[in-house]
Structure 1
Amino acid sequence: MPEVIFPGPEGRLEGRYHPAKQKDAPIAIVLHPHPQFGGTMNNRVVYNLHYAFHQIGFSVLRFNFRGVGRSQGDYDQGVGELSDAAAALDYLQQLNPDSKHTWVAGFSFGAWIGMQLLMRRPEVTGFISASPPANMYDFTFLAPCPSSGLIVNGTADRVAPPADTQALVGKLHEQKGITITHHEIEGAGHFFEEPHMETMLGSVQTYVKRRLTENSR
């Protein structure tokens, strides 16, 4: 997979970019978990989500937030990381000016950043939020949530308890004009350890394919 270096708010950002064959292919960025707890773009969930999107026909970019790997800068409590995500989306859009669909996917801390990015970027047409840490971070900024998406988590998640995710989904279901799909995977932990990874990826691909089909009618 091609390594890429692109400009971020605090210097260069390191990423991996996988272009689709079609020039007007949909695009997606994938955001990794918490930088201070070992989160990188090579996290297994992030890596597998990246390939899941590419297999559907997306041009996909995943990258390291500031201070991770070869990305410059220092951890910034999520504020700077949101700016990094916006820069990554800018870069991906520049590479794919003919794309009609833009998706944001994030895992754990990356899900929190991704949901914030939705609020800033009206062109985002769909999102995947895997194991959102609704117990650790405030998601009330999603008022209203600007696009429909999939929230997926495990019933055995001890990092981000299912009850908190269910409460988040419940609040989003009250909003009009969007549809939040929620898939809770029985027995899966925060990191979707085997054999639950394939179930999670299948759920994501099924959902994204359905949305693309609906949008093409």
Structure 2
Amino acid sequence: MPDVMFTGPEGRLEGRYHQSKEEHAPIALILHPHPQYGGTMNHKVVFTLFHVFVNRGFSVLRFNTRGVGRSQGRFDNGMGELSDAAAALDWLQTMNADAKSCWIAGYSFGAWIGMQLLMRRPEIDCFVSVAPPANSYDFGFLAPCPSSGLIVGAEKDEVVPLVDIQKLVARLSLQKGITVESRTIKGANHFFHDTLDKLAVDVDKYVAKCLINPPGRATSNKEP
């Protein structure tokens, strides 16, 4: 799992990259939680998601947004981090020009960034959002949500109440052309202490199913 450095909007960005040995392997970009609360690419939830995709034969990149670890720049309240994510996806696609599909996965703040990137990049086929902060960030931009995906909530989340995640799922599930599935990890708190294995199993089952039977996509145009 080599360390990589690539160019972002405000300088170099630091990442960890796994190159699949499979021809035309799918790709996945993993986004970390809020950097001002200790979020980095080495967070255990990010690490767990990373290895779910590695084990399913993907080429996978996780990285530090600006100002985190060895990544240059300063925290930018989400706008700059979204630009960093776009640069990371560009790099990942350059390394895998013939990838058969493209996924994005994010945890907490990273889920919010990932869903915004989803609206801007029509090549993203599917998403995984873990504990999306629906209580503290506006997800109204998902109108409509352009791709199918999985939203995972924690039963005992003390940061993002499960009811707020369920409301987000219900709203997205009304849209035509896509399927938004949800899972609740029993006994889990926001940080998934002692429940990472359960999280990995549920995400892995979803990824495996979608590789066999790709889910639907909305027919309307995404944002430019």
Interval of TM-score (by shorter of Structure 1 and Structure 2): over 0.9
**Distance in structure 2 (CA, Å) of the matches to 1:125 and 1:182:** 17
Q: Which letter maps to 1:43?
A: H
1:215 CA displacement: 3.2
* Residue of structure 2 in register with 1:131 after alignment: 131
* Residue of structure 2 in register with 1:72 after alignment: 72
Cα deviation code 1:18-63 (max 9, x no counterpart): 0100130000000000010000000000011101100000000000
Q: Which letter maps to 1:129?
A: S
Cα deviation code 1:161-181 (max 9, x no counterpart): 001101101110111111000
* Residue of structure 1 in register with 2:16 after alignment: 16
Cα deviation code 1:59-100 (max 9, x no counterpart): 000000000000000000000000000000000000001101
Q: Percent identity?
A: 61
Q: Which letter maps to 2:30?
A: V
**Distance in structure 2 (CA, Å) of the matches to 1:46 and 1:183:** 17
CA RMSD of aligned residues (A): 0.9
**Distance in structure 2 (CA, Å) of the matches to 1:153 and 1:164:** 9
Unaligned segments of structure 1, at least 5 residues: none
**Distance in structure 1 (CA, Å) of the matches to 2:214 and 2:111:** 23
Give the alignment of 1:29-48 within 5 angstroms. 29-48=29-48
1:191 CA displacement: 1.3
The answer (yes or no) to whether the contact 1:23–1:96 under 8 Å persists in 2 is: no
Cα deviation code 1:151-194 (max 9, x no counterpart): 00111001000011011011101111110000011111111111
1:134 CA displacement: 0.4
* Residue of structure 2 in register with 1:172 after alignment: 172
1:16 CA displacement: 0.3
Q: Which letter maps to 1:84?
A: D
**Distance in structure 1 (CA, Å) of the matches to 2:193 and 2:181:** 22
After TM superposition, which residue ranges in structure 1, 4 or more long, deviate above 2 angstroms? none
Name the count of aligned residue pairs: 215
* Residue of structure 2 in register with 1:210 after alignment: 209
**Distance in structure 2 (CA, Å) of the matches to 1:145 and 1:206:** 22
- If the length of structure 2 is used for normalisation, what is the TM-score? 0.95
Unaligned segments of structure 2, at least 5 residues: 216-224
